[in-house]
Amino acid sequence: MAQEQLKPFKYDDVQIGEELGSYEYVLTQEMLDSFRASVQDPDACFPTLAVKHDATALNMVYDDQVGGVNAGNEVEFFNPPIVGKKIFVKGRIHDKYLRRDKPYMVIEATAVDEDGRMLERLRTYQMKKPDEVGKKWHPQS
């Protein structure tokens, strides 16, 4: 997947409602099998979670050298994706805010398949000062 002309990520410049990358890919049996093995669930049917639609959309637009820690996720399931079908993803900045002086950003992606079936909506709450979280977790232990 081509990644051209990435913008340097600057938290202050990000706008709520800003559109991120839109992209498509074909779900393969290999992706589904690998996902199921990784979560030890032979019936898991949303490998889209591991594709990380929202983070992928962000990374198709921005070169984010800061990184972030995933403080939370919200996901809604509408229909399981079907192997061999194209999946179309659209991402956007859903929100950004400060909490306890720490910068947060909420990225969102919606996915539909080539038949127009809504598959999933995923939001990730990213805290954009990852070193602060690392300190809290007592990394020495």
Summarize as ranges the residues that interact with other proteins (CB under 8 A): 1, 3, 23, 25, 31, 34-35, 37-41, 43-47, 49-52, 56, 59-60, 66-67, 69-80, 124-125, 130-131, 133-135, 137, 139-140
CB of 25 to other proteins, least distance (A): 5
CB of 135 to other proteins, least distance (A): 7
Phi then psi for 91, rounded to 5 degrees? -120, 155
- Measured from the CB atom, the residue of 5 and 140 that comes closer to other proteins is 140
Tokens of 129: 């000062």
- Measured from the CB atom, the residue of 3 and 84 that comes closer to other proteins is 3
Q: 94 vs 1, 48, 91, CA distance in Å?
A: 24, 19, 9
Segment holding 31, helix H or strand E: helix 29-38
Distance CA 107, CA 54 (A): 6
- Measured from the CB atom, the residue of 14 and 51 that comes closer to other proteins is 51
CB of 73 to other proteins, least distance (A): 5
Q: Report the relative pairing of strands 62-63 and 7-8 from DSSP bridges.
A: parallel
CB of 27 to other proteins, least distance (A): 10
Segment holding 29, helix H or strand E: helix 29-38
- Measured from the CB atom, the residue of 14 and 89 that comes closer to other proteins is 89
